[in-house]
């Protein structure tokens, strides 16, 4: 598996995401993911499963330095003192003295000035609690603002990204600023596995539609993708995307699947005004 280098962070291109995974599911499937070779794990305070993520990593026997761990601060913890307490709580739950990447979970839902949020991100990094800092669900203007306000480089912007959602503007901005995009919802809420074009392309390579979509994402420069599953068979499928490559024509054909109503995640009060 290759890593994506973005503003000093070397992020494994394929991550294991834990959004909407119960504690029991994490304890059952994350150990299998680590055994299989996943070395990038994504969680968040809001997911309610950091403790189980920490337990699985601790019990894996894999050196902590070999696993890239991302977590996020929720919007109600953006005030300085609450922010620090949230990070300390995350570290305790994750059974580690640092996380590799810490993100602001959403730009909305808080009246705390962006300068204060970014300032505290930098503070916990200086304290050694965080190796790299990033953002999530930011539009291009907010990416620019975060970069201006931050002393340390912003490593990534974690956003919804799949074949039905055109993120060209965000990706162009990320590249100009030296950061990556980390894609979540890669399966587009179950639309991807049933897509005829993706299935047809997959058949040419001996792969599934889901593998084609994941490959399409990681084959783009500066893109990291999070995969998520609670089943062991699908876990192996998701991991097996580095032994084939899509042609330029196939990449372009998949890009044509994007449509104006392709966005799935858009919570009122949290989401920004998205780039058109």
164: annotated active-site residue: no
DSSP letters, 165-212, are S--HHHHHHHHHHT-EEEEE-TTGGGTGGG-HHHHHHHHHHT--HHHH
Cα angle 103-167-269, degrees, rounded to a multiple of 5: 55
Smallest CA-to-CA distance from 214 within 251, 191, 182, 241 is with 241
Output the known binding site.
105
Strands 180-184 and 68-73, by their bridges, are unpaired
- For the record, the structure tokens of 60 come out as 């894996």
Across the chain, how many H-helices and E-strands are there? 10, 10
Write out the binding residues for substrate: 105
β-strand pairing of 180-184 with 9-12: unpaired
Q: Which residues are catalytic?
A: 47
């Amino acid at each position: 598996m290759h890593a994506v280098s973005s503003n000093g962070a070397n992020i494994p291109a394929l991550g294991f995401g834990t959004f909407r995974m119960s504690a029991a599911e994490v304890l059952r499937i994350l150990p299998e993911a680590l055994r299989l070779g996943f070395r990038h794990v994504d969680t968040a305070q809001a997911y309610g499963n950091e403790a189980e993520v920490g337990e699985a990593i601790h019990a894996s026997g894999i050196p902590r330095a070999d696993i890239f761990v991302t977590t996020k601060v929720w919007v109600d913890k953006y005030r300085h003192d609450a922010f620090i307490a949230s990070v300390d709580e995350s570290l305790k739950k994750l059974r580690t003295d640092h996380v590799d990447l810490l993100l602001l979970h959403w730009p909305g839902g808080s009246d705390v000035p962006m300068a204060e949020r970014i300032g505290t991100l930098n503070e916990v990094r200086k304290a050694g609690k965080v190796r790299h800092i990033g953002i999530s669900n930011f539009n291009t203007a907010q990416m620019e603002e975060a970069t201006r306000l931050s002393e340390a480089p912003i490593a990534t912007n974690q956003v919804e990204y799949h074949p039905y959602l055109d993120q060209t503007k965000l990706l162009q901005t990320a590249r100009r600023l030296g950061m990556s995009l980390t894609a979540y919802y890669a399966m587009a809420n179950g639309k991807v596995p049933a897509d005829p074009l993706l299935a047809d392309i997959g058949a040419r390579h001996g792969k599934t539609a889901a593998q084609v979509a994941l490959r399409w994402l990681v084959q783009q420069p500066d893109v990291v993708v999070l995969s998520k599953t609670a089943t062991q068979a699908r876990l192996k499928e998701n991991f097996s995307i580095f032994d084939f490559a899509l042609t330029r024509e196939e990449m372009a054909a998949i890009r044509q699947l994007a449509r104006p109503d392709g966005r799935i995640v858009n919570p009122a009060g949290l989401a920004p005004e998205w780039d058109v």
